Amino acid sequence: MTAQQDQDKSIPQQVIENALAKLEGRDEFPEAIISKLKELAKKGRLDSQKAIIEAISIEPEEPPCV
């Protein structure tokens, strides 16, 4: 992300997006959780305790057996 793109965002947006970017790729945070957190951020629901706990409780889907 360029500095200009960063500047065009609100400060809370910058904090949320940068924080989620730091979590991406960490073992504790599978893709499904990151997606859910991004969705909550988009909807402005990161102030909901219940929604966040639901998001971080998501279990990653097992890969299908072959």
Helix (H) or strand (E) holding 16: helix 11-23
User: Closest approach of Cβ 66 to other proteins, in Å?
Assistant: 26
User: Closest approach of Cβ 62 to other proteins, in Å?
Assistant: 15
How far is the C-alpha of 59 from the C-alpha of 66, rounded, in Å?
21
Residue 52 binding other proteins, by CB under 8 A: yes
Is the distance from CB of 43 to CB of 51 less than 8 angstroms? no
Q: Residue numbers of the site for other proteins (CB under 8 A)?
A: 7, 10-12, 14-16, 18-19, 22-23, 26, 28-29, 33, 37, 46-49, 52-53, 56-57
